[in-house]
A and B are shown apart, each in its own frame.
Chain A
Amino acid sequence: DGGITQSPKYLFRKEGQNVTLSCEQNLNHDAMYWYRQDPGQGLRLIYYSQIVNDFQKGDIAEGYSVSREKKESFPLTVTSAQKNPTAFYLCASSGELGTSGKSEQFFGPGTRLTVL
């Protein structure tokens, strides 16, 4: 089945530690995205990537880093510089370049990160 997987589903981190969230898609999509969702709020864009080996900062990139070495993978690292990392993190992907403005985003099931 085609789709997006995120792992782990729940993640606990001690303050001061870096942690990496996994996102994999087998939809052959060019574009991938990371969002952060806080309780009772909408989604805020952290980073996005339109193509392999290229990515752009979103609205709240500070304290986060990404890589896009393979088309199907877009891991997100939450660094110790992120002051309030406890949140629900969603990964998404969308269709081919040039059409992605019209194609919907497909979302993974999310990772809930809690900093202890």
Chain B
Amino acid sequence: AQSVTQLDSHVSVSEGTPVLLRCNYSSSYSPSLFWYVQHPNKGLQLLLKYTSAATLVKGINGFEAEFKKSETSFHLTKPSAHMSDAAEYFCVVSVWTSYDKVIFGPGTSLSVIP
């Protein structure tokens, strides 16, 4: 069975400081992992994905994430937060079995303080 845990429901950072959004997963198979961002009343947009290639994945808007199998983690980071980063972030695990099983984490709300 697969599951996703986002360790913080809400994170608040000051503009210009680093961002860390934590994600741990559980999977019986080799998973693909994704981070999505959702701005208020909008659909989700893909930030980055890991699909068994390089463990350090770079995404859009300066975000990156590192896949650590030993820790079953896929934390999202950004060196310097911008006001426009304020949004909801979802960590997602996907496993191809007999059907496409995609599990969404509960989300982390990021606030950026001027």
Determine if A101 is an interface residue (Cβ-Cβ < 8 Å): yes
Q: Which of B11-19, B61-69, B78-86, B104-112 contacts A (4 or more CB under 8 A)?
A: B104-112
Partner of B94, one of A98, A101, A107, A109: A101
- Select A104's contact among B34, B95, B106, beta carbons within 8 Å: B34
Chain B residues positioned under 8 Å from A6 (CB to CB): 43
Shortest distance from the beta carbon of B14 to any chain A beta carbon, whole Å: 23
**A42 contacts B104, C-beta separation under 8 Å:** yes
User: Which of A42, A56, A102, A110 is the one whose CB lies under 8 Å from B107?
Assistant: A42
A residues 75-114 in Cβ contact with B at 8 Å: 88, 90, 92, 94, 98-102, 104-110, 112
A106–B46 CA distance with the chains assembled, in angstroms: 8
Query: Interface SS of chain A: helix, strand, loop or mixed?
Result: strand
Query: Is A110 in contact with B106, judged by CB distance below 8 angstroms?
Result: no
Complex alpha-carbon distance, A42 and B90, angstroms = 8
In contact, A104 and B46 (Cβ under 8 angstroms): yes
B51, B100, B105, B106 — most chain A CB neighbours (10 Å): B100
Residue in chain A with minimal CB distance to B4: A42
Partner of B32 from the list A35, A102, A106 (CB cut-off 8 Å) is A102
CA distance A50 to B109 in the complex (A): 31
Question: Which residues of chain A have C-beta atoms less than 8 A from B96's C-beta?
Answer: 98-102
Q: How many residues of A contact B (CB 8 A)?
A: 29
30 inter-chain pairs at a CB distance below 8 angstroms, sorted by A residue, are A6-B43, A35-B104, A41-B106, A41-B107, A42-B104, A42-B106, A43-B44, A43-B90, A45-B102, A48-B99, A48-B100, A50-B99, A90-B44, A94-B100, A99-B96, A100-B96, A101-B94, A101-B95, A101-B96, A102-B32, A102-B94, A102-B96, A104-B46, A105-B44, A106-B46, A108-B43, A109-B42, A110-B42, A110-B43, A112-B41
Interface residues of B (CB under 8 A from A): 32, 34, 36, 41-46, 49, 51, 90, 94-97, 99-102, 104-107
* Given A90-B43, A90-B44, A109-B43, 13 new contacts (CB under 8 A): A6-B43, A31-B100, A42-B105, A42-B107, A50-B100, A92-B44, A99-B96, A100-B96, A100-B100, A101-B101, A102-B96, A107-B43, A110-B41
